[in-house]
Each structure stands twice: as structure tokens, then as C-alpha cells.
Amino acid sequence: MSIATPTDDVPVRAPRSAWSRWTRPVLGLILPIGLAVAWEFAVRAGFSNGRLVPPPSVIFATFKELWQSGELQKHAFATSMRVAAGFGVGVVSGTVFGAITGYSALTRRLIDPSLQALRAIPSIAWVPLFILWFGIYEASKIILISVGVFFPVYLGVMGAIRSVDRKLVEVGRAFRLSPLAMVRRILLPAVLPAYVISLRTGLGLGWMFVVAAELLGASEGLGYLLIDGQQLGKPAQIVAAIVAFAIIGKITDWIIVLATAPLLRWEDTSARTEGN
Amino acid sequence: MLALDRVGKTYPNGVRALDGVTLAIKPGEILAIVGGSGCGKSTLLRAVSGLDRPTQGQVTLDNEKIEKPHEKIGIIFQEPRLLPWLTVADNVGFGLHDRPSSERKERVARALERVGMPEKAGAWPRELSGGQAQRVAIARALVPRPEVLLLDEPFSALDAFTRADLQDHLLKLWSDLKPTLVLVTHDVDEAVVLADRILVMRPRPGRVFEEIEADLPRPRDRQSAAFDFVKRRVLAALDRSLDRTVSVNEGQEKAETGAAMWW
Ligand SMILES: Nc1ncnc2c1ncn2[C@@H]1O[C@H](COP(=O)(O)OP(=O)(O)O)[C@@H](O)[C@H]1O
Ligand SMILES: [Mg+2]
């Protein structure tokens, strides 16, 4: 935040913060766009042939070409399906385990140490085992992704349930809520903000792990485009696939945010914007 | 009639928070409980509410034993404890969930009107001041029409002006349905303004030390001599409740508490 002097009053400060809300992202764009434009000119002027680092125009052309041939959609769809399946499995299992361990101290003491130990293993280390167990096709990929999604969701749900304000639970008790009503009317709404954050973290890890899974061998998917671009020496295709990853990843994150926004309107907005 | 019969509470860690409290509170009576910090006021109120169970004795309401929260007993805590994900109106209607929505809406609207904030129905709790939030909490507790309303230092976090305002609001709401009020407070003025009877408690173990009738006409005039007289009696009783001469055999414990530091 900017420095606020005691004499600053709200009407004076409001337009200034609205101004900085728009200029801040714009400031951040100057460097990448500037570099892209500079590189484009450098290649056009013949300072470099741009073979290993293709200029923006070539990347855009490759992107367009992949799109028009339907390749891009096909690969993006395959990757998205894997993420969706792995995300689904990871979220359901993470939520169930997180809810159980968050709710009951006994199961937490029983299960949590083992899960924490598993979490300490770099997940990519599982790949050879998963391939042995589940084969080289979809199953092992989806399971790897769901492992990546599982842990943030599990930790998020467990932490959220444990930190539910006991005083609000007591309000529920004073109004004689049944156990089910207590979950529905107090616990669920109370954990929702933290749950959404853990879903977004889990999704981000899902996208990370799908790349790992596809790099290790796939006949379709954006990760396949990456490997194919490397093997055939097509850097523009690699960058185009990376851009596609970025776009789809951001869109799916937005979907979570937009889908849950109506449920989180009550949250203190100042708390949400504080992280800027 | 709310009755406590030799109610005692020993916490699992061995603290005897309450010992042998016997009380009968008439329907519609306003009872204030004052006493030093740690003398078991909250413990007593929680036992009456059914949120905690006494370890000795029993609490009964109209001869029904209270062992868990009861629909005829409402409670207001020191903090408003509004549910932040519900609007003000939904918070007020929280205890009416099993009623048809038309009835719920009407009763919520009326309650908000009674606490003087009908325009806040759609607001979020975070948009309220401390005093407004506590008014919503009062409305929430009263809307199910409890026969007994328990209040644990409900106004202690508020400034003096807001506090006096809320005391007026509380009396106004009380006069609608005349529930039994049991009010824990550390503000002697508050006790004398509101209560028909004032109970002074003393600690270790928590028990009733003295009962003072506050038989003043309502509305009460804080400047009147009668008000001042009752207030002095309460203050004197509080001082005596901590006086070491009262319990010679507990001299060692008493040494920790300063005579006038009853709050
Ligand atoms: N949950 C608890 N466990 C153990 N001791 C408690 C607990 N709650 C209160 N006590 C003890 O019981 C005594 C009475 O507490 P409390 O009823 O909160 O007093 P008051 O509300 O009058 O300040 C105090 O000595 C306090 O430390
Ligand atoms: Mg207390």
C-alpha cells in the first residue's frame, strides 16, 4: 500500500488507489512486451536468425497453424481431460481425508503422520512405480496428477476444519443444531474460503504434474507437443504449447474463482486485497 | 420458573468453579450477577444454558431438567458471534429455520425494527459497528421467543454511550415478552439500572455471597438517591466479598486478590 498520512481522507484516497489498480499490472507488462518487441526487431533486422529463440511473430504463426489444423485443440483437450480426471480424484480423496482428520483427533494421529511422510517424497519419484503398477497409459498419468492435487487439498481441508471458530460452533449448539445441520450451516460455510484456496493450489499442481506425466511419454497432449517440438527442433511449437498451458491454466483457475465468488461475497474484501 | 438446586462445577483440572448455588428465579424477573473475575459467573450461566453440565446438583426450567441447550433458553455472549456468511436478516432468523419462510421474514423484520436497524437487513456482519452487531445478536436470541435469556457480560466490549443505549434497547425488548433475564455484568450501574435482584458472588469456590433487591420503579433514574443507595449496597457487598476478614481460613488464597480489585 502507499503511505497513508493521517490527513488522507477516503474521498481523496479512493481515486488514487483505483488509478494504481490499473497502472500496476500495466507497469508489469512493460518489460516482457518491450523484450518481445525488441527481439522481433532484432530478428527482422538480421541481428539473429531467431532459430533457437523464435520471434513473437513466428510463435504466433505456429500457434495459428496448430489451431487451424485442429492439432492444438486435440492436444489441449487430451491434457485437460487428464487434469480434470486427476483433479477430480485428488479433490475427492483430499477432501474426504482432510475432513476426517480435521474432525477427529484420533484419526488425525493415526493417519496424518503417514500422509505427511508421503508428502515429503518428491512426487515425480513415484513415476517408475506408477508405470509398473498402472502401465504407461492413462491410469498412471491420472494417478500422478491426483497425487499432486491430493496434498494441498488434504492439508487445506484439515487445517480449515481444525481452525473453525469454536465460538461459532457454540452458537450452533445453543440453537440446538443436529450434527448434519451443524456441518451444513456452520462448518461448511466456515471452511469454504480456505477450501477454495486449496482447490486453486491443487489445480495449479495438477497442471504442473500433467506436464511431468506427459513428458515421460504420451502420444497426445500439450506435453507431447513439447517433446515433439524438442525432437524435431521446432522451438516455436514448444513456446506455443507453453502459451497454451498458461492460457488454459489461467482459465481453469478463473472458473474456480468465478464459480465460488457468489458463495464468498460475505468475506471481508479488505482482507482479500491485502495481499497485493 | 428457573431453579438451580445446589449446582456445583468442578473442571477436569480440579478447579472448583462453582459450589452449592441454589436459586429460584421467577418468570419475567431480571437477575443480575456481579462478582470478581473468576468467581464462576460464566460457569454458572453456561450450566443454566445447557452448553456445559454441572458436576453437582441440577438446573430445572418449569421442573424440566436442563442438560443440553433448550429451546426455551437463549444466550447472548460477550461477543456478538454473528455468522459472517449470513446477512443480518439471516443471522436474526437463524433460530427460526423450521418455520415457514413468510413467518420467518415477518418476525425477523419486526425484530430488526425493535432493535432500531431495519435498514441493515441486507448488510453483512462485517459492515456493522460493535454496538450494532450486539443489537443483532440480541435480536437473534429473542426472535425464537425464549422464556429465559442469559447474557454474559454482553455490553462490556462497548463504549459507555453505546452501552447505555443497548441497555435501553434490552429493556424495551424485554417488556415485549417479559422473558426471565439472567445478566452477568461487571458494571454495577448496569446491574442497578436493569435488575430486580442483584446477586453478588465470591470466588474459590464460586458461590452466592449476597442478594440485594433493587426494588426501584422503572424507568430508572441513575441520578436518584434510591439508585445511588442500591448501588452503594452492591459496591459494599462486592468489597466485603473480597475482604480477608470474611474468611479467615482462606487467608492464603485471599492474599492474591486486592480488596477493591473485584473486577
Ligand atoms: N474450561 C475450564 N477449565 C478449567 N477451569 C476453568 C474453565 N473455565 C473456567 N475455569 C476456571 O473456573 C473459575 C471460574 O471461571 P469463570 O466461570 O469463567 O469466572 P467468571 O466468569 O466469573 O470470570 C476460574 O478460576 C477459571 O479459571
Ligand atoms: Mg466470565
Could you give the domains of chain B? 2-262 (3.40.50.300)
- B interface with A, Cβ–Cβ < 8 A, is 49, 51, 68-71, 74-75, 77, 79, 81, 83-86, 94-95, 97, 124-126
Boundaries of every domain in chain A: 51-273
Whether the pLDDT of residue A270 is over 80: the answer is: no
* % of residues, chain B, pLDDT over 70: 92
B70-121 tens-digit pLDDT: 989 999 999 999 999 999 999 999 999 888 889 889 999 988 988 888 898 8
Reply yes or no: is the peptide bond before residue B179 cis, omega within 30 of 0: no
Say whether pLDDT at B254 is over 50: no
Could you tell me the distance, in angstroms and rounded to a whole number, from the CA of residue B68 to the centre of ligand 1?
19
HEC string of chain A equals: CCCCCCCCCHHHHHHHHHHHHHHHHHHHHHHHHHHHHHHHHHHHCCCCCCCCCCCHHHHHHHHHHHHHCCHHHHHHHHHHHHHHHHHHHHHHHHHHHHHHHHHCHHHHHHHHHHHHHHHCCCHHHHHHHHHHHHCCCHHHHHHHHHHHHHHHHHHHHHHHHHCCCHHHHHHHHHCCCCHHHHHHHHHHHHHHHHHHHHHHHHHHHHHHHHHHHHHCCCCCCHHHHHHHHHHCCCHHHHHHHHHHHHHHHHHHHHHHHHHHHHHHCCCCHHHHHCCC
Residues B126, A174: C-beta atoms closer than 8 Å: no
Give me the interface pTM, i.e. the ipTM.
0.85
- Confidence (pLDDT) at A122: 86
Q: Do B237 and B10 meet the contact criterion of CB atoms below 8 Å apart?
A: no
Atom 11 in ligand 1: which residue has the minimum CA distance?
B17
**Whole-angstrom Cα distance, residue B189 to residue A179?**
41
Of residues B215 and B86, the one with the higher pLDDT is B86
* Residue A15: per-residue pLDDT: 56
Q: Which residues crowd ion ligand 2, with CB under 5 Å? A: B 42
Give the per-residue pLDDT at B90: 93
Measured in angstroms, how far is the CA atom of residue B17 from the centroid of ligand 1?
Answer: 6
pLDDT at A164 > cutoff 60: yes
Q: Please state, in angstroms and rounded to a whole number, the distance separating the CA atoms of residues A165 and A169.
A: 7
pLDDT at position A13 over 60: no
Q: Supply the pLDDT for residue B80.
A: 93
* B114 pocket-lining for ligand 1 (C-beta < 6 Å): no
Number of Cβ atoms within 10 Å of the Cβ of A132:
10
Question: Which among B42, B78, B153, B200 is the best mutation to test ligand 1's pocket, defined by most ligand atoms within 8 Å of the CB?
Answer: B42
Please tell me the predicted confidence (pLDDT) of residue A5.
43
pLDDT digits (tens, 9 = 90+) for B6-58: 889 999 998 888 988 899 999 989 999 998 888 889 999 999 999 999 999 89
Identify the CATH number of the domain defined by range A51-273.
1.10.3720.10
Would an 8 Å CB–CB cutoff place A272 in contact with chain B?
A: no
Weakest mean pLDDT among A43-52, A74-83, A186-195, A247-256: A43-52
- What is the number of the ligand closest to the CA of B201? 1
**pLDDT attached to residue A234:** 85
Rounded distance between C-alpha atoms, residue A211 and residue B166, angstroms = 61
CA angle A44, A47, A51 (to 5 degrees): 75
Q: How confident is the model at residue A78 (pLDDT cuts 50, 70, 90)?
A: very high
User: With 70 as the cut, is the pLDDT of residue B134 above it?
Assistant: yes
CB A268 to CB B126 under 8 A? Answer: yes
Q: C-alpha cell of B99?
A: 418455520
Q: Does the beta-carbon distance from B94 to A175 stay under 8 Å?
A: yes
Pairing type for strands B64-65 and B148-152 reads unpaired
The strand ranges marked E within B45-101 are: 56-61, 64-65, 73-76
Contact check, Cβ <8 Å, A174/B79:
no
A171 has a chain B CB within 8 A of its CB: yes
Average pLDDT, chain A: 85
